[in-house]
């Protein structure tokens, strides 16, 4: 799986697997669901990443909660079904009851129980959606604009004035060319690396304002539990707060089929401590002052005839 490699870079706790046999009893289901929500970067590689933000961990917790509810339902339903098939089979002399054709009591029970289960799942799900949408009190806003096939990051608040494009790193770009003769396996983080990553501080509520200048793109970093479409003419919001101590490089990709080079516009986020971030902002401002460049020009696009617009 492609993102395993990315996760390994900041993986500070080994995956904890779930025992398959444990699914047989409700008590052990509940215990495992709790252990499954413990904070860690990564699950066992077969599951969603647990991630490094409040939201990603809450999403993983909800996902596991719903998963174990489904397991419990399956155990009860299949248990009753298999027991009935075995116990009341014809060879054992079972005689079908042909008199019972309708039972209002049964109909009420099998309507009310699923409704209650749905409510039990809907309450935490609605709560999490509200939390996801609550971009109030963000401490750093960054405008993110999708282009075919690169991202532009324009900082506001503490990073006001920092503005750059983030494009596929050159070694990946050379290796991907037809007949390049370069083995992609020799390129570190092949197609998942950029020339300039998005730099953000840890422990800070970061709000992204997403839009696009051409087609629909989607900004996606699985470890942040963050994915949202960047749509021309619209501004979508997204927020995340990386836990302090989880500084490092996180990788994602454009998650919308945005044209020919859709696979070549990765997202890389460099999470630094607030002090390191401050220093980075000062360095960026000093560098752009020295260069005297007010705003970066859009890097050259491929010829229009070669572009595919979805
Ligand atoms: Cu895209």
pLDDT in tens, 116-130: 999 999 999 999 999
- What CATH code is carried by the domain that includes residue 230? 2.60.40.420
Domain contains 165: yes
255 CA to centre of ligand 1 in angstroms: 7
Same domain, 179 and 207: yes
Same domain, 150 and 286: yes
- Burial class for 241, CB neighbours closer than 10 Å (0-12, 13-18, 19+): buried
218 CA to centre of ligand 1 in angstroms: 6
What's the confidence (pLDDT) of residue 45?
A: 74
Same domain, 180 and 250: yes
Query: How does the average pLDDT of the chain come out, rounded?
Result: 83
298 CA to centre of ligand 1 in angstroms: 16
83 CA to centre of ligand 1 in angstroms: 52
Same domain, 168 and 281: yes
306 CA to centre of ligand 1 in angstroms: 16
pLDDT surpasses 70 at 310: no
Structurally, the chain folds into a number of domains equal to 2
Domain contains 309: no
253 CA to centre of ligand 1 in angstroms: 8
Window from 163-177, 244-258, 292-306 with minimum mean pLDDT: 292-306
Angle, in degrees to the nearest 10, between helices 54-87 and 104-133: 160
pTM assigned to the model: 0.75
What's the confidence (pLDDT) of residue 167?
A: 94
């Amino acid at each position: 799986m492609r993102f395993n490699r990315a996760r390994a870079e900041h993986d500070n706790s080994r995956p904890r697997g779930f025992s398959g046999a444990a699914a047989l009893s409700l008590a052990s289901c509940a215990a495992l669901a709790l252990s499954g929500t413990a904070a860690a970067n990564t699950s066992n590689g077969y599951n969603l990443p647990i991630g490094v933000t409040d939201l990603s961990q809450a999403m993983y917790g909800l996902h596991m909660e719903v998963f174990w509810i489904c397991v419990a339902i399956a155990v009860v339903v299949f248990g009753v079904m298999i027991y009935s098939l075995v116990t009341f089979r014809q060879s054992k002399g079972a005689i079908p009851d042909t008199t019972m054709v309708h039972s209002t009591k049964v109909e009420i029970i099998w309507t009310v129980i699923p409704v209650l289960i749905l409510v039990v799942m809907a309450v935490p799900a609605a709560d999490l959606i509200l939390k996801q949408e609550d971009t109030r009190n963000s401490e750093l806003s960054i405008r993110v604009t999708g282009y075919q096939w690169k991202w532009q990051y324009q900082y506001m608040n503490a990073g006001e004035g920092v503005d750059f494009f983030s494009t596929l790193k050159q070694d990946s770009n050379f290796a991907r060319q037809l007949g390049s003769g370069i083995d992609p396996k020799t390129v570190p983080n092949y197609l998942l690396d950029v020339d300039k990553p998005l730099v953000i501080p840890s422990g800070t509520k970061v709000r992204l304002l997403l839009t696009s200048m051409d087609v629909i793109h989607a900004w996606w970093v699985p470890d942040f539990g963050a994915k949202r479409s960047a749509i021309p003419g619209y501004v979508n919001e997204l927020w995340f707060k990386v836990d302090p101590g989880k500084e490092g490089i996180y990788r994602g990709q454009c998650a919308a089929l945005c044209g020919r080079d859709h696979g070549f516009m990765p997202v890389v986020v460099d999470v630094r401590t607030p002090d390191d971030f401050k220093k980075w902002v000062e360095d960026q401002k000093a560098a752009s002052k020295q260069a005297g460049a007010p705003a970066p020009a859009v890097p050259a696009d491929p010829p229009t005839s070669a572009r595919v617009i979805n």
